[in-house]
Every structure is written in structure tokens, then in C-alpha cells.
Structure 1
Amino acid sequence: MARTVEETPGAPHILIVGGGYVGMYTALRLQKKLRRELKRGEVKITVVDPNSYMTYQPFLPEAAAGNISPRHVVVPLRRVLPRCTVRNARVTELNHGEGWAIVQPLAGPPERISYDYLVMAAGAVPRILPIPGLAEHGISLKTIGEAIHLRNHVLQQLEIAESTDDEEVRRKALTFVFVGGGFAGVEAVAELEDMTRDAVTYMRKVTPQDLRFILVEAADRILPEVGPDMGKWTAEQLRGRGIDVKLKTLLKSAVDGEIELSDGSRFPAGTLVWNAGVKAAPVVRNSDLPLDERGRVKATEYLTIEGLVRAFTAGDNAAVPDLTQDGMTCPPNAQHAVRQAKVLADNLVRSLRGKPLKPYVHNNVGAVAGLGLHKGVAYTYGFRVKGWPAWFMHRTYHGLRVPTLNRKIRVLADWTLALFLKRETVSLGIIEQPRADFQLAALADAKPKEKENAA
């Protein structure tokens, strides 16, 4: 039974569901705009997210490849939101008509909290298709935990191949399949292929020629965000590095690590990375909010929720009209999310003060993608850039965009040190099972006692 949390009467309570791009940047903006009201207790802001940090997702491929420390791509919410209440919990149900939400904390029973203003910024989760074996063997790259695991897993596969003479085991360990040719998929395969080539230089049995990287894309091109010409160039560059780019191809099965593709090919793979699209977070389906045919919250150009009052939304979980293109919605990327958060926060303040709202309008300035160290591709302001200049643009843009001066300095320090020091290629997979050695030691101590008791 959910218990009700007592709220201070009188002051409007703003509930922000999600602490990602939209959630954190909205809260930051509200802290600035409502500084006096928050100080006097005239407004309350609660941010609910299962994590205590915001993840800067464009840096996840670099974190997985070891170019950036994983801790430097996350921003502690409580540190940057001192005037907000940050709750590590998951909103499991929401009724805006009655103004309440059910919150499941990390421990303990669920709670029911009331609110006056809603910001639905729960973001998106991977869109998992009903492909046999995918749920059991696949991994995405949307969280810092997945980035750390993927790095350790890939390096561990190299260690497996280095330590065995069994050709079947080696072939499976050295085969890496990435599904999805958008930004996440292309950057992931490019960064990790770059990392593994560095790693095998220290090995005796494994050579770069033994590595098999496969990128699977259902469409007829990759990186649609940078245009057809640059997408074609990127595919050619990846193929030149030995990456097998399969277009117009689907993953059919991954049972027991046996990959089956729609082109008829079958082969074992020790690694399967799934980046084939996202869908709105589950909480939006457990609410009374209006949804479109893709399960996203229907938004207006003012970033309010269609047909509701005191309700706002933006980001990956929202279908926000793109006023620069008739009949289109804004793509789910960081560029839009950060700018939407600013407009959303300003409109929420205007709503509190009874002022008219302003529409969200933003012309897409382009896109940049990193393809490993000193390699990249970009299409921005109508200009096509590739190679080292695009890589430099990628790092410059995201280095400036990563939140807080603290994180900017740490990321810059990581990049600077990488100019002089070699990349670390050590697998720390044991951190995912830190008690394994302890348990083995306990079992070893228990066996002599069992023998003594038996005697």
C-alpha cells in the first residue's frame, strides 16, 4: 500500500520525472529563475530519477573505449541542484488529473506524492524487438553501467582468445556484432574497434586480422543525420578499417550466441550490442497522459502536454512539433533536449506568473560523430567535414556542452593526458562480481571442515 508523503501547504509543488538532459537542465533553469521563491519556500521542486546523476550520453562510446573516465561523464544531481529535492526512485504510475504520482524508492514500500506542476522528462529506453536470444545475449549503450560492462566484456573476449588454442572458442570471442547504424551504433563500433586494435598490440596470439567487427543496419545507409553522402563516406571508412557494414540487413536470431542475419549468414559471436532505436520510458504508459502512435507524450509547440494544464514535457519521451518542418517532430537528440529544457523552464515560470508562453523553435545546426581517435564525420551549417577536423569539432562541441565546469575540466584533462600516455586496455570485469573470490575462499575453507566432520 502506497503511503502519502506530507507536503507543505500553499507552495506550488513542481514534480520533474527524470534527471536526464531535460530533467536536469529544466531544474537548473528553474533554480535560477525562481531563486527567491525557492529560498523563501514559496515554490518546491522535486526531481525523481532512479540514478543520483545525469549521464552525458554522447560520451558513452568514449567512456566504453577508455578515452574518458566513466565518472567524468556523469553529473551528480544533488551537487548541481542544491535547492531541489532529489529522490533516487522510479515513478511507476501517474495521474495528472488528480495530481499524484506513485514513487518506488530504492528500498522500502512505494509512496504516493502529490504535485501541482508536472514536467515529464523520463526519457527513453532501448526498443527491444522480439528476436530470439536478443534479451539474453544483447547489451545496449545508454547508461554508464552498460559502457563500463561493455568495455570490460570486450577486453575479456580478447583475453579468452589469447588464452586458448580452441579455434571455435577464439572465433566466437573475436566476433563483435553491433546492430543499429545511427549515432549510437556507429560511434560504439568505431570506438571499440579502435580500442581493440590498441589492445591486441600487447598480445602474442591475437592479431588485428583476427578481429571481426560487423555493423548491421536495416536501412540502406548509416548515419542519416549527416546526410546520404557523408553516410556513404562513413560506411566506406569503416569498411576500410575491416568492419563489415551490412546494409538492408536484419538480426533474425541470437540464440546461444549464434547470430543469424536476414542475408542468410550464420556465425557465433561473443558480443552483441543493440542500438536499434529507442522508445519512451514505461512510466508514460502507466499514466493518464495523451500518447501518440509511437507511445510518446503528445506535446504542443509550447512544450506543454496536449489538452492538459500545468503539465509540460520534452526530450526523448515527447513528440514535440518541429516548427521548422511541417508535420515533423523534433528528433530525439541532445541538441534539442538541452534547448527544449530552457524553453520549458521559462514557460513553466511564465505559467506560474500568469504570463503568455513562447513556442519552441530551433533549426537543426547539424550533427557530429566520433569514429575513434582522430577520426570523425560532421555535417553542420551546410558544411561537410570528415577525418581529423570532424573529430576535433566533435570533441570541441561536446567538451563545451558537457554540464558543469567541474566535468569540463576533468574531460579536458582526460583528453590531454591521452596525448602523452597510452590508452589503458585492462579488463576489470571482476568489479561486476566483487564477492566471487571471497565466496571461493569461503568454500575452500569449508571443505576441510566437511572432511573432518565426515571422518
Structure 2
Amino acid sequence: MRRILIVGGGYAGFYTAWRLEKRLRRHEAEVTVVDPRPYMTYQPFLPEVTAGSVEARHVAVSLRRHLRRTTLIAGSVIDIDHAHRSVTVRPADGPDLTIGYDTIVVTAGAVTRTFPIPGVADEAIGLKHVEEAVAIRDRLLTAFERASALPPGPQRRRLLTVTVVGGGFTGVEGFGELLSLATALLRSYPELSADELDFHLVEARDRILPEVTDRPGRWVVRHLEERGAHVHLKTQLVSAEGGHIVLSTGEEYDNHLLIWTAGNQSNPVVARHTDLPVDEDGLFQVRADLRIGTDDAAIPDAWAAGDNAAVPDLAADVAGARTVPNAQHAVRQGKRLAANVVADLRGKRTRPYVHHSLGTIATLGLGKGIFQYRRLVIKGFAAWVIHRGYHVLAIPTWERKIRVLLIWAAATLFGRDIVSLLSVQHPRAAFVAATLGSMHGTSQATALRSDPADSDADGDGDPPPSLGGRSLEGR
């Protein structure tokens, strides 16, 4: 049997494996997926997870539940040696493994792009994975609870201050959803006022949402500012040490929640740990049929798609253009890649990947959005409805579609759930407090403060931040 190895279980990897299961005959080939996480994250819904409009588990599609004829290996690929048809896998436990293959499909995705800015590594949370979205939501809800018990002043204002760095789709959608949630929370916290909310969106370029044209982009800026937000264009974050934000414009303020969405960069394994050809950006050189290589020299039995591949955009008006790294392309590339792998396996012709954009759409909070298809621009509630309709159709499996629709229906009747479960990030805290309290005859509260493992290192009242990052295969 032919051995097909898929590196990464994100959009492109999941859809490639899913389609291969449907297209391959039994005993024609065996498929293996290597990814450290047991699920695929539907990232377009992460901003709504931060706002409590979608439950976290509903954006995670179980690999084991839906890839029943695929072998799943929980681990991170750290080296690809195509000359010997093998990869090195680092599992969570135990020694590294060497896995052989006949055909490799690399859909390892990209990793978050960061810069050596003081304080960012200690203070910031990304918005690329479901765990990050949940942490952001819980921290905002906890901040409201704490602020409501304080008198008006700098400490209370700091708790209600949020900064998002990055004006792309993830940053703008996350910013808009959090602003919508914060505004809605004021109804449940009469002690607080809208004037105390301090939301900042920081973008180094002179515009946000580069995928839309200038006029809709300017409208989004005005829309956010009319809702009380501060949009800083042509501005960079200089420092975030101790929760104190310093911008390149000279503006400074104390901040509670810092969210980093300043784009992606090439996967380190793709860029530096493979003998397959990559370009100057650290992306695989890919032909139109998604085979690695060039039109003149294809690499046998090697394929790539998604954010780790420079896929030619045959539908673009500009020669040499590449597909943009978004879910719309990754999903369709995965489907085309599976069809081409099967065709190649059976000695048939492969087909090029061609996809004409369906437009760009962004949610800006509950009931607010923007949609653009060529010259057609739709704003406000209608765009928000289109956003929800498209993504509930796009999220894989009917099970997930139904779950998302049910939670939206419940929210329409009863509103968003505003319970914070920040303590789940430290599940042993209460037990440790009780144990130490019994040992030393102190109260649980005193015991908890005396335990350095669960103490508040930075003095802002938050549990120690979790900086565990996505492995190299994650999307």
C-alpha cells in the first residue's frame, strides 16, 4: 500500500485527509496525519469565541471523530528528509520518532510573527488558537468583575483598557467583537460607565483591512471610533513592560489586556528543516497543481498547500500573484490537493488549483460587519448576517454547523453568557490553598497568597499567563 503522510491537521491538512478517505479505494493507500493537537480549529470563529457568541469546543473539529480511516500521530514534525522519504516527529512524551512515507503532503501552516518588543512576551496573548480566544474572553470578563468593586480612578480604568496590535482581519474582527462584548457588559455593571472603556487598535500601516479597498477601510475606522475606540494608524508598539503601553507616537497608558495579531511568518520547519525547495520568504515553491517544485522541475511525491506554500493565483489579474493565506483558499486547496494526489497515484492527469474569490467579509461585533465583492460593498447588519451565514456553511461537518446554530439561537433568546472561567487555567489553585491552609492553620485565601506557584507575579491580579505556543504544524 502507498503510504501518504500529511504534516499538519489544519484547514488544508484536514480537508486533504477527509477527501482522501472518500476518494481512495480500500487497500489502495494508507494515510497518516501528524499534528500535536487532536482537532482542527475553525479560525474565522475565534473572534466570536472571544465575545462569547460561539462556544470554544464548537470551533474545534475532532480529527479522530471525522478521520476514521486515517492514522493520527500526536506530535510535531521537526525535520523533513524527502531524499530518504522520512520525517522526524517529536511527540509530547518519549523519544523522537522517524516515520517513513511514499508521498508527503505538507500543510504545516504558519506561525505567529513577533518582534523583540519589551514586555510583549510577558504580557501579550495571540488570537490564532482556541485556547487563546477563551483566555481573552475570560480575562475581559474577570476585569469587569474586579473593576466593579473599585472606586473610579486609574486602577479601575486600567482594568477596562484593551490594546490589540495588528489591523488585519483577525485583529479588526477580534477588536470589534471585544468592543461589542464590553459595551454589552455595561448593562450588567451599573457601577461602570462607557467613558471608562479604553480600547486601542494599533496598526503600523496607514490603513486597516488591506484585503478591502481604501474607502471601506476608512469606513471601518470611522465606525470603530464612533463606538468610542481609538484607532492608531502608522503607529508601532514600542514597549509593553509591566502592562504600560508606549507607542511610537509618544502616547503612553496603562493597559490590562494586550492582544497580538500582527500577522504570520513562515513555519520554521518549512523554512529551515527540509531538503524540499523553499523561496526567499520561507514558503514551499509550489506549482499550480500544488506539487512542490517549478513548472520545469517538479519534485516527485511531494505536495504542499495552505499558509506554508507559495501557491500561484491563476485567477488573479496580475502575473506571478500568489493566493492570499486565508481559510477560503486553504479549504479549497485541500480538496484539490486530495484529488490530485489520487489522480497521480492512479497515473491520471492532475488539475491546477483555480479559485475566484467570493469576496471579503469581516464581523465588527454583534449585528455589525462589512462585506466587499469587487465594487459591491455592504455594511452593518446585512453584512453581519452574510458573515454568519457564510461561515456556518463553511465550518466542516453538519454536527458543528448545528451546534453553532443552536448556540446562536440560545443567545438570541437569553443573551450571551457572561460567566468567566479564568480559574480553569489553574485548576489546582483551590486544592493547593486548602491543603496549605490545613497544614499551617491559615485561611484558604492566605494560603493561596503564600503559594508562589499560584501567586500573581506581576501584581495585576491575574493568574500567571500561559505562554504555551502552537507547535510547528499548527495552523
Question: Does TM, normalized by the shorter one, top 0.5?
Answer: yes
The whole-number CA distance in structure 2 between the counterparts of 1:386 and 1:342 is 31
Matched, 1:321 2:307: no
Deviation at 1:166, TM superposition (A): 7.2
Aligned partner of 1:100 in structure 2 is 86
Taking the aligned partners of 1:352 and 1:339, their CA distance within structure 2 comes to 20
Residue 13 of structure 2 is aligned to residue 23 of structure 1:
yes
Q: Secondary structure at the match of 1:118?
A: strand
Name 2:382's counterpart in structure 1. 389
- Aligned pair partner of 1:81 in 59, 67, 80: 67
Query: Any idea what SS the aligned residue of 2:220 has?
Result: helix
Question: Equivalents in 2 of 1:53, 1:303: separation in Å?
Answer: 24
- Runs of 4+ in structure 1 deviating by more than 6 angstroms, as ranges, are none
Aligned equivalents of 1:24, 1:446: Cα separation in 2: 50
Tell which deviates more after alignment, 55-64 or 194-203: 194-203
How far residue 133 of structure 1 moved from its aligned partner, in angstroms, is: 1.1
Whole-angstrom CA distance in 2 between matches of 1:140 and 1:395: 23
Q: Identify the match of residue 341 of structure 1 among 298, 320, 334.
A: 334
Any conservation in 2 of the 1:279–1:317 contact (CA below 8 Å)?
no
Aligned-partner residue type, residue 275 of structure 2: D
1:439 to 424, 432, 443: 432
CA shift in 2, pair 1:53/1:99, >3 Å: same
Report whether the alignment pairs 1:301 with 2:294: no
Between the aligned partners of 1:355 and 1:157, the Cα distance in structure 2 is 59
| Cα pair 2:267 2:282 within 8 Å, conserved | no
- Secondary structure of residue in 2 paired with 1:90: strand
TM-score, with length taken from structure 1: 0.93
1:211 aligns with 2:197: yes
Question: Which amino acid in structure 2 is aligned with residue 121 of structure 1?
Answer: T
What's the CA shift for 1:381? Answer: 4.9
- Answer yes or no: is 1:67 the counterpart of 2:53: yes
Supply the AA of the counterpart residue of 2:302.
A
Match of 1:134 in 2: 120
Aligned to 2:449: none
Deviations 1:65-113 (A, max 9, x none): 1001111111101111101011121111111111111111222111111
Residue among 274, 286, 297 paired with 2:273: 286
- 1:332-360: CA deviation from partner (whole Å, max 9, x where unpaired): 00111111111111111111111222111
Q: Match of 1:424, SS? A: coil
- Is 1:310 aligned to 2:301, yes or no? yes
SS at match of 1:214: strand
Q: State the identity %.
A: 47
In terms of mean alpha carbon deviation, does 351-360 or 397-406 score higher?
351-360
Q: 1 or 2 for the larger relative contact order (CA 8 Å, sep ≥6)?
A: 2
Task: Report if the CA contact (8 A) 1:12-1:116 is conserved.
Answer: yes
Q: Which moved more, 1:45-54 or 1:352-361?
A: 352-361
Amino acid paired to 2:123:
H
Q: Kindly state the Cα deviation for residue 254 of structure 1 after the two structures are TM-superposed.
A: 0.9
Select the residue among 370, 373, 378 that pairs with 2:366.
373
What is the SS of the residue equivalent to 2:367? coil
Q: Any unmatched runs of 5+ in structure 1?
A: 1-10, 450-455
TM-score by length of 2: 0.89
Structure-2 separation of matches of 1:147 and 1:299: 32
* Runs of at least 5 residues in structure 2 that lack an aligned partner in the other structure: 443-475
> Is the partner of 1:305 in helix, strand or coil?
strand
- Separation of aligned partners in 2, 1:254 and 1:221: 23
1:380-420 deviation line (CA, Å, top 9, x unaligned): 25411000110010001001001000000011111111111
1:448 Cα shift?
Answer: 3.9
1:374 positional shift: 0.8
| Structure 2 Cα separation of the partners of residues 182 and 343 of structure 1 | 27
Output the amino acid matched with 1:320: V
Q: Following the alignment from structure 1 to structure 2, what is the Cα–Cα distance between the partners of residues 162 and 424?
A: 18
The whole-number CA distance in structure 2 between the counterparts of 1:135 and 1:288 is 31
Say which of 416, 427, 436 aligns to 2:420. 427
Q: How many residue pairs are counted as aligned between the two chains?
A: 435
> Aligned-pair RMSD on alpha carbons?
1.3
State the alpha-carbon separation in 2 of the partners of residues 54 and 237 from structure 1.
33
1:408-447 deviation per Cα after TM superposition (whole angstroms, max 9, x unaligned): 0011111111111121111110000010000000101111
Following the alignment from structure 2 to structure 1, what is the Cα–Cα distance between the partners of residues 282 and 244? 32
Deviation digits for residues 307-326 of structure 1, max 9, x if unmatched?
42110001111111112231
Which one of 94, 101, 114 corresponds to residue 100 of structure 2?
A: 114
- Identify the range of structure 1 (329-338 vs 416-425) with the bigger mean alpha-carbon deviation: 416-425
- Deviations 1:217-273 (Å, cap 9, x if unpaired)? 111111121211111111110000001111111111111111111111111111111
**Matching residue within 260, 268, 279 for 2:254:** 268
Tell me, in whole angstroms, the C-alpha distance in 2 between the residues paired with 1:108 and 1:340: 34
